Amino acid sequence: MRHFLSLFDVSDDELKRIFELGRQLKTRLKSGVREPILQGKVAGLLFEKPSLRTRVSFEAGMAQLGGSSLFLGEDVGWGKREAPQDFSRVIGQYLDVIVCRAKSHDKVETLAKYADTVIINGLTDLCHPCQALADLMTIHEEFGTLKGQKLTFVGDGNNVSRSLALACAKMSMQFTLAHPKGYEIEQEFIDRILKVVPDAKIDQTSDPIAAVEGACAVYTDVWASMGQEAEQAKREKDFADFQVNQKLMDAAAKDAIFLHCLPAKRGQEVTDEVMDCPTSRIVEQAGNRMHAQKGLLVWLLTEAVDKVHLD
């Protein structure tokens, strides 16, 4: 049994296969083909945080693959009514896969330790691997390849940027983070990436103009994520010079696209002009959450356990 708690859980070749499956399934869906590859499989969506894209994309994806899903919110009492190990052991008997969206990465790891079923990280404070799958799938669709491309993230060294740094390293891409001082990705995480991909090209700088030079994609996120509302005023001040606007996009590669994991605070981290420009791919990127995750689900529940190989 395999889990997907972070991109460290898959090899480079396995990640490529997940992308390949996602692209195949997206093409088939456009042709009106919905194969019941996961018929009878049940996914539980165990969420501590609000969600639009993660919840709907997984629920729709499971349905299109012939399976079903259950949304498990606060009413199930995760971490409140009973010990984590008791909860995990019980719920693991009912479900084939659990998509967990948690405030703490430790909670997802505890779930994986005790639940006898596949666990997918739908977002934690440490990383957001499913988002990175959709992001790189979108870049591949735009440019036909990932190898040698440069992705620049303008903002915080947060869960999204950590996952992107790792995903880019695995796919032989260059990753640059443009951040205010004090908001970089911690060296411990960078060192962990370098241990897996020694030749990874990861840069961090406080100069956003220099950071986007040569980038095929410029990416940003809100300045204060869920749980950081108390820091909003300070972060608005610290990130004031890191807004993605047309001037910054003009400093990137001529054909550069704009990406955002959404939801966005228009007028703060990004302008309306950039959000709605012809090179914005935020809608396609959000759509690819479902397609990339379908590839992940099929891989985890079939190929990763040597049952089926989709061609």
Q: Mark the binding-site residues for L-ornithine, compressed into ranges.
A: 159, 221, 225-226
- List the catalytic residue out of 128, 140, 235, 291: 128
Coil, strand or helix at 34: coil
Q: Which residues are annotated as a binding site?
A: 101, 128-131, 159, 221, 225-226, 261-262, 289
- List the catalytic residue out of 100, 127, 168, 261: 261
Q: Catalytic: 128? A: yes
Coil, strand or helix at 136: helix
- List the catalytic residue out of 235, 260, 289, 291: 289
Cα-Cα-Cα-Cα dihedral of 241, 161, 59, 283, to 10°? 40
Instruction: Read off the tokens for 16.
Output: 């490529």
Contact 174, 201 (CB under 8 A): yes
Q: Which residues are annotated as a binding site for carbamoyl phosphate?
A: 101, 128-131, 261-262, 289
- List the catalytic residue out of 101, 235, 260, 291: 101
Q: Report CA-CA distances (Å) from 200 to 18, 59, 136, 179, 183.
A: 21, 34, 16, 19, 21
Q: Catalytic: 127? A: no
Q: How far apart are the first and last CA of the chain?
A: 22
What's the rounded Cα separation, in Å, for the pair 53 and 142? Answer: 21
Coil, strand or helix at 257: strand
Q: Catalytic: 289? A: yes
- Residue 114, judged by CB atoms within 10 A of its CB (0-12, 13-18, 19+), counts as middle
- Residue 63, judged by CB atoms within 10 A of its CB (0-12, 13-18, 19+), counts as middle
Active site residues: 101, 128, 131, 221, 261, 289
